[in-house]
Chains A and B, each alone.
Chain A
Amino acid sequence: MKEGTPSMEGTEPGSAIELDHVTKRFGDVTAVNDVAIEIQTGEFFSLLGPSGCGKTTTLRIIAGFEAPDEGRVLLQGNDVTFVTPQKRNVNMVFQAYGLFPHMTVAENIAFGPKIKKRPRDEIARRVTEILRTVRLEGMEDRRPAQLSGGQQQRVALARSLVNGPAALLLDEPLGALDLKLRKEMQLELKELQMRTGTTFVYVTHDQEEAMTMSDRIAVMNEGLVEQLATPRELYSRPASPFVAGFIGTSNLITLRIDWRDGGLVGMDLGEGERILAPDPGDGAPTAHITVRPEWIKLASGEVGPRASHVGGTVADVVYLGSVTQFIVLLRTGERLTVHRLNDEVALVDPRPGDRVILHWAAEHSYVIRPGRTEPPRPDLRTDPSAADEH
């Protein structure tokens, strides 16, 4: 399910999972607050947010380990709000894997099908198949303790996938792995998801991980979905200061609007310096804008008429490999983070204390509209009349 799907789809049972305004409270804390999400079949969907944002609780509500206080959970169009986890056609991959240490790899994987009383030869065939899918052939008789972290991870995946779930729920499954293995497993997971066509619901606090793998991401904060969008949209058009700050590095600037002209608003800083942004059109005296560090250029030459233009002093230079990061202190006291791509050998970096001129195109000042935005895809809204049909 990529962007560009016709917008009437939301009313059809093509969705794997639908959370219909789900709320969950633990005592005084509202862990999940009126979350409305529809996850399409075959989609790689991520719930992203800092710890305590409600993403894991949301996943556990889908799995059936928590019952929502309000709202409904629908799996493939069927209301499962009060159905036990045993009877839900979704499977979870736990953060600590939850592999059974006293069983072999094959026994672990066969656990689900055995409970469902599948015929013995079918179980054997499916175990062999799924072991090939996760590239663990020949490991059937090993115990989990005899496997590496990455292999254990794959056994956990196989144990869930062998049941042919409507959706696979993954709770920070790569958290226990080291960075290099995590990167490998990210690609492997994505590849596995595409190959099996299974809907993945992935919980992570790692924005890079979510960006790498997901078709769509719901960014959560304090129990609320701040924004639900594709990775590209989240990065380039964050719906709130929180999203702008959480996804990648961002410069948040509060703009005092001094003038409006030709679809632009501007703030003058004196001596020809200015910050420009597209006119949000709401007539407000200020605007919140976000500028990504890589969109800001360090320049000595001419600055175009439709570009922001500010001077500052370099406060810090950090070499990050493919880019160099500069922290530039503006006259107004604000600090901007600037990334410059290290794509030439002979680049001479400005040093701390140097005066620099920064500029960026007006369009690269992204205006964050106040308040939380609705999911950008119209077919993701829950239509109450459509929900009754299921």
Chain B
Amino acid sequence: MAAVTTAVGRPRRTRRGVFGIMFAPVTLLIVLFLAPMLIMVQMSIVKYPPDVASGYTLEHYQTVLTDPINLRIAWTTLFIGTTSMILMLAIALPLGYYMVFRAGKWELFILLSLVLADELAPVVKIYAWQSILGREGIFNWFIPGPPVSWLLFSRFAVVVTLAATYITYTTIPIYAAMKAIDPSMFEAAIDLGAGWWTQARKILIPLAAPGIFIAMILVYIPMLTDFVTADIVGGTGSYMMGQRVRDLILSGGDWGSGAALNFVMLVVSIVMSVIAYWLARLNRIER
């Protein structure tokens, strides 16, 4: 748990503005997650969970870490999560830029739309994507030729649907970070000969890096544990960690392995967040 506090606490000291804004929601998230997580950790080291009196052991961790199926699922999850993250950043960065510097009176409208999109029940959203990507869906209706079937019940479907689910949490921290950028920065860059790509690479992204980092923390962890999305729009090739944990606990009744696997995932998430932070910082200093 100490690792979580460190990962969130350190940037707050180095980047005052954005982290000042983000600190309260992030703290709230930690507190609300903390209690259930402590119970989970306990379950992962109890011999015959949920019987706490049965003694403590680390064998659940051994089982989880040595099972080759888990490794394959981990790779699938990581691939889907990362692809989805990249997709979200590819949308959130231009969208954030547009909102802050171009949208004018539409800025608030877009912001509210993002929030409202997030308010929508996730299951409803995912079912909506099922009808968009399906054989008889809107997508196939637009593309010529025979209907394409790989759109739904595939990794592609999970990536797209996850991106749609978490786009709000990606865009808003990036938007907040960009809000702090003085627009004259771009005029100065243009004046010195920078085209749009140089402006994006050397000015926009480095200065929005703290927001990108926050977005990654906010999105990666829930995305890696998500199982509803893969259940509804995923296929056999998109079996994710969230589903695995759920199946271990609910179908298999194996609380120990489920909890241990969950804790391993948490550690991995934190490590990835730290790496993301490190990269963001590196990018910020580098030209």
Question: Could you list which residues of chain A lie within 8 angstroms of chain B, going by C-beta atoms?
Answer: 63, 65, 84-87, 91-92, 94-103, 107, 111-112, 114-116, 159-160, 163
Contact = CB atoms under 8 A, between A and B. Distances in A.
B191 A102 contact: no
Given A86-B193, A163-B192, 18 more contacts: A65-B190, A85-B187, A86-B195, A87-B193, A92-B187, A92-B191, A95-B184, A97-B188, A98-B185, A100-B188, A100-B202, A102-B285, A111-B189, A112-B193, A115-B193, A115-B194, A115-B198, A159-B188
Contacts of B234: none
B192 A159 contact: yes
B284 interface: yes
Nearest to B207: A102
Nearest to B182: A96
Contacts of B285: 102
B60 to A, nearest CB: 45
Contacts of B189: 100, 111
A232 B188 CA distance: 34
16 contacts: A65-B187, A84-B190, A85-B187, A86-B191, A94-B187, A98-B182, A98-B185, A100-B203, A103-B287, A107-B287, A111-B194, A111-B287, A114-B287, A115-B194, A115-B198, A159-B188
Contacts of A98: 182, 184-185, 187-188
A185 B251 CA distance: 76
Interface residues of B, number: 20
A112 B287 contact: no
Nearest to B198: A115
Contacts of A84: 190
A111 B206 contact: no
Nearest to B285: A102
B192 A111 contact: yes
A115 B192 contact: yes
A85 B193 CA distance: 7
Contacts of A112: 192-193
Contacts of A103: 287
B154 to A, nearest CB: 40
A43 B216 CA distance: 53
Nearest to A85: B190
A103 B283 CA distance: 11
Contacts of A99: 188
Contacts of B182: 96, 98
A235 to B, nearest CB: 33
User: Interface centre among A63, A84, A103, A159, by most B CB within 10 Å?
Assistant: A103
A176 B192 CA distance: 22
Dominant secondary structure at the B interface: helix
Dominant secondary structure at the A interface: mixed
A192 B192 CA distance: 20
A65 B198 CA distance: 18
A102 B193 contact: no
Nearest to B287: A107
B261 to A, nearest CB: 40
Contact of A100 (B185, B187, B195): B185
Nearest to A87: B193
Q: What are the 7 A-B residue pairs with the smallest beta carbon separation, nearest first?
A: A98-B188, A112-B192, A98-B184, A115-B193, A86-B193, A92-B191, A102-B206
Given A94-B184, A107-B287, A115-B198, A63 B207 contact: no
Contacts of A86: 190-191, 193-195
Contacts of B195: 86
B262 to A, nearest CB: 38
Contacts of A102: 206-207, 284-285
A160 B185 CA distance: 14
A286 to B, nearest CB: 49
Contact of B192 (A65, A91, A96, A97): A91
Interface string B172-205: 0000000000101101111111110010001100
A41 to B, nearest CB: 20
A116 B191 CA distance: 12
A84 B193 CA distance: 9
A85 B188 CA distance: 10
A65 B191 CA distance: 9
